[in-house]
Amino acid sequence: MFNSAITIALRALSTFYPPQKPLLFSGAGASRKLADLMIRGGQKRPLLVTDSFLLKNGMLDDLIAFLKGAGCEVTIFDGIIPNPTFAVVEAGTKASVDNKCDAVFVVGGGSAIDAAKVIAAASTSKKPLSRLAGILKVDTPLLPFYVVPTTSGTGSEVTNAAVISDTETHKKTFFVDPKYIPIATALDTDLLKSLPPSITAATGMDALTHAIEAYTSRNRFADTDRDAAMAIRLLVEFLPIAYENGGDARAREMVALGSFLAGCAFTKASLGYVHAISHQISAHYDTPHGLANAIILPRVLRFNKAACAERLAALEVMLGGGASDGSTATMADRFIARVDALAETVGIPVNLADVQPEDFQSIAKDALTEARSSYAVPRVMRRADATAILQSVSSGGRDVSFA
């Protein structure tokens, strides 16, 4: 019953507030093109949001020189941390307001982008962060907002949501509004090529999770199917290449495009139990989000197979060149095995030893609550199913026995 209700609600939201894709620049030097667009738009006092690692390692020197050479007064905020908190956003907002910034230009991973979204909103709103949290709570236009992702997986560069942790409780708070989608984004291979293999793998599998959960969502649309399928095709083909050879600019660009398209798909179609469980694991153990998703994904695919074997089989047919040589169930199993093989190829472990049995019930309860309120899942999971997945994640293999 609840899943039908959330599907209707999400479909109404997607229909009446359809997300718009940002303008896209891609390839070497794309961040300069994005900066030039911002300047041509009349913004010359940007708040540059980033993390201290990128700044200290000189990866932004050329961009900063370009901005200053064009007459921009650049305010730099490099206080980004993993799982950014309300305190981080408040500090960034203060820097923006104090320096009369007229745009937010972010270069970084998902944490930086999420923080920058809310900074762009808080800089123009009189609401405290607690009242901006939630769905459709942004009451004024954001500062013009531009994004350069330095990882390929979160999809934050195209989504209408941000996740910020409460400073005291560290519980994750969602900020969701179409206004959070940036004006434009740049997939700059010059910045992506230095991404370490382990992060390339985890973020790439995160993007694959976005695409698969969008494709199997009950809130799917023709355009989300198209974007999700293309994302899956690109990620399956090019993620192993980018993992093995980070300097391969074509592979980096294709993985980044896959992440972008997956973000477009799930922004409209929604996510599912992989994310619901992953969010709780990250909250409990500070596990990197992409890694948690990558480990949980095959287990949830096995759970969902009973409800969406035809969808999974269709993906296998697509990846196999368009021909089916088995039953729907067989082809669905082959797709799941393909996901297993991809994870193994890019070094994703089978288990997360940090996940402890004494936390199973709490994690399962919170995950099911998140899914019940937010996702149009293809098959409803019970507490025992979620617990079985957690047991498998903690110490078992990818195969899970469901009651």
Q: What average pLDDT does this structure show over 291-302?
A: 96
Q: What average pLDDT does this structure show over 12-41?
A: 86
| C-alpha pair distances (Å), 77 with each of 72, 92, 208, 313 | 15, 6, 31, 47
In this structure, whether the domain defined by 197-395 belongs to CATH 1.20.1090.10 is answered with: yes
pLDDT at position 1 is: 43
Beta bridge partners of 79: 51
pLDDT bucket at 330, cuts 50 / 70 / 90: very high
b/e for 367-394, b at 16 or more Cβ within 10 A? bbebbbebbbbbbebeeebbbbbbbbbb
Alpha carbon distance 107, 30 (integer Å):
12
pLDDT in tens, 136-161: 999 999 999 999 999 888 888 999 88
- Whether 26 shows a pLDDT value over 90: the answer reads yes
Q: Which fold has domain 29-187?
A: Rossmann fold (3.40.50)
- Whether 172 shows a pLDDT value over 80: the answer reads no
The proportion of the chain whose per-residue pLDDT surpasses 70, expressed as a percent, equals 95
Alpha carbon distance 80, 115 (integer Å):
8
b/e for 70-93, b at 16 or more Cβ within 10 A? eebebbebbbbeebbbbbbbbbbb
Domain with CATH 3.40.50.1970 in the chain: 29-187
Sign of CA dihedral 292, 297, 298, 299: positive
Domain with CATH 1.20.1090.10 in the chain: 197-395
Alpha carbon distance 224, 217 (integer Å):
10
Q: Where are the beta strands (DSSP E) in 57-122?
A: 75-77, 103-108
Residue 81 or 46, more confident: 46
